[in-house]
Amino acid sequence: MVYVLGIESTAHTFGVGIIDSKFNILSDARSVLRPSGTLGIDPGEAAEHHSRVAVNVLLEALDKANLKLKDIDIVAFSKGPGLGPALRIGATLARGLAFKYNKPIYPVHHGLGHIELTVHLTNMKDPLVLLVSGGHTAILAFNEGRWRIYGETLDITVGNLFDSFARRLGIGFPGGPVIERMALKGKRYIELPYNVKGNNVVFSGLLTHATDLVDKYNKYDLAYSLQETAFSMLVEVTERALIQTDKKEICIAGGVASNNRLFNMIKTMAEDHGVKVGRLEGDLRRLNGDNGVQIALLGLLYYEAGTPATDLDKTFVYQRIRVDEEDVPWRM
Ligand code: AMP
Ligand code: MG
C-alpha cells in the first residue's frame, strides 16, 4: 500500500490529508483562519496562522491515520494559486518532509485538486465542471490533455462576492453559509446588476451595488437578491457551456458547491437537457472547502500516471497559475 500526504495552505485553511493508494481517506486535519481585519484575508496573517498550526495539524493527521512520518511514501503540496506567504508555509513543510525522509514530492494545482476530488467521488466520467470557491469561479471541461476553461469570472470569485458582502454586514468569514441562511428569509427581490459577457461573469458591480443598498433595504431581501442574481448568472453561463461542449454530466466543486440554492438551480437547468448533476454531499460535504485530501489525491494521480517527482530545488509556489496550464496525464 502507498500512503500519500497532501498539504494545503493557499488561503484561509491549513490542511493535511492522508490517503492510501486505493483512495481511502485516512485523515483530513485542518485549521481555518478567521481573519481579524475588515479587508478579508491578510497574506501575512494567513502565513502567521499557518506556521503556528502546521505541526499540530500534521500530527493530528498522522494520528488519525494511525501512521508515522516514515510510513508516508509521497508528499504533495498546493503550489498555487494563492497568497504567496501562505503558500510558502505549506511548501516549506512539504520540502522539509520530502528531504528528511527522502520521499518523492509533487507540487500540485489547488483548483485542479477541487476538480479531481469532486469528479472522483461523484463517480463522473467526463463532466462539465462548475468550480465555485473563494479562489475560483470557472466552468471547465477536459479536452486534449487539460481541463479547459469554457467560462470564468472576469473579476472577483463568487465566494469573494459573498464573503465581501457579508463583511459589510458585520458577518465573519466564511460569509457564504450565512448569506445562504439569510436568503431563505428574504421575501422580495430587489433589482441588482446582472452582468454576463459571453460565457463569463462579472461580479464587482453587483457587489458594489448590493453593498450600497445595505442601509436602505431589509438585509434578508438583499441576501436573497444577491444570491438569486449571482446564481442566475452562473446558471446562464453554465448552460451555454453545456450546449457548446455537449457534456452529459455536470459536477459542482469548491466551497460554494455546498449551497443548496445553487445546486437546485443548476439541477433544474440540467434536467431540461437530460443531464446528471453531482456534488459532494452527506459526509463528503466538508470536502467542498479547501482541504489536504484534494492535494494528496493529485499526488497519487501523478505518481500512478508515472510522472517523475519534482526536484526539491524546483518546488516553486505560484500566486497566479491557471488550471488550464496543468497537464493531466491520468486522463490522457
Ligand atoms: P474554498 O475556497 O473552496 O474553501 O471555499 C470557501 C468559500 O466558499 C468561501 O468564500 C465561503 O463563503 C464559500 N461557501 C462555503 N459554504 C457556502 C454556502 N453554503 N453558500 C455559499 N458560499 C459558501
Ligand atoms: Mg479552494
Q: What is the CATH number of the domain that holds 84?
A: 3.30.420.40
The alpha carbon of 101 and the centre of ligand 2 are apart by a number of angstroms equal to 28
pLDDT at site 35: 83
For residue 263, pLDDT beyond 80: yes
Check residue 311 and report its DSSP letter: P
Closest atom of ligand 1 relative to the 288 alpha carbon: 3
Residues 263 and 142 in one domain: yes
State pTM to two decimals. 0.98
In a domain, 189, yes or no: yes
Write out the H or E segment, with its range, that includes residue 314. none
In a domain, 120, yes or no: no
Residues 138 and 224 in one domain: yes
The alpha carbon of 11 and the centre of ligand 2 are apart by a number of angstroms equal to 8
Query: Mind listing the pLDDT tens digit for each residue in 187-220?
Result: 999 999 999 999 999 999 999 999 999 999 999 9
- Give the amino acid at 197: K
Q: Per the structure block, which three cell numbers stand in for 209?
A: 451595488
pLDDT range class, residue 76, cuts 50, 70, 90: very high
User: For a substitution probing ligand 1, which of 34, 133, 286 has the most ligand atoms within 8 Å of its CB?
Assistant: 133
- Helix ranges restricted to H, 157-305: 158-168, 176-183, 204-212, 219-245, 260-272, 292-304
In a domain, 140, yes or no: yes
Residues 132 and 238 in one domain: yes
Residues 161 and 254 in one domain: yes
Percent of the chain topping pLDDT 90: 97
Residues 245 and 175 in one domain: yes
Distance CA 274, CA 192 (A): 31
Residues 12 and 77 in one domain: yes
In a domain, 121, yes or no: no
CB 15 within 8 A of CB 8: yes
In a domain, 119, yes or no: no
The alpha carbon of 180 and the centre of ligand 2 are apart by a number of angstroms equal to 19
Of 238, 260, 279, the one marking the end of a domain is 279
> Measuring CA to CA, which residue among 158, 192, 189 is closest to residue 266?
158
- For the segment 59-85, the average pLDDT, to the nearest whole number, is 98
**Whose atoms come closest to the Cα of 109: which ligand?**
2
Closest atom of ligand 1 relative to the 260 alpha carbon: 19
For residue 332, pLDDT beyond 90: no
Residues 170 and 132 in one domain: yes
Distance CA 94, CA 265 (A): 40
How high does pLDDT run on average in the chain?
97
Residues 104 and 239 in one domain: no
> Measuring CA to CA, which residue among 320, 180, 189 is closest to residue 255?
180
CA-CA distances (angstroms) from residue 25 to 186, 263, 287, 310? 39, 25, 11, 24
> Measuring CA to CA, which residue among 219, 206, 173 is closest to residue 39?
173
Residues 73 and 201 in one domain: no
Q: Per the structure block, which three cell numbers stand in for 324?
A: 488550464
| Number of structural domains found in the chain | 2
In a domain, 284, yes or no: no
The alpha carbon of 12 and the centre of ligand 2 are apart by a number of angstroms equal to 9
CB 279 within 8 A of CB 286: no
Residues 229 and 101 in one domain: no
For residue 38, pLDDT beyond 80: no
**Whose atoms come closest to the Cα of 175: which ligand?**
1
- CA 137 to chain CA mean position, Å: 9
- List strand residue ranges (DSSP E) for the chain, in order: 3-8, 13-20, 25-32, 74-80, 105-109, 128-132, 137-143, 146-152, 196-197, 200-201, 249-253, 276-278
Closest atom of ligand 1 relative to the 134 alpha carbon: 2
Of 254, 279, 304, the one marking the end of a domain is 279
Domain that holds residue 298: 3-114+290-331
In a domain, 180, yes or no: yes
Residues 203 and 93 in one domain: no
In a domain, 285, yes or no: no
Within 6 A (CB) of ligand 1 lie: 133-135, 159, 162-163, 174-177, 180, 254-256, 258-259, 289-290
Residues 40 and 150 in one domain: no
pLDDT range class, residue 266, cuts 50, 70, 90: very high
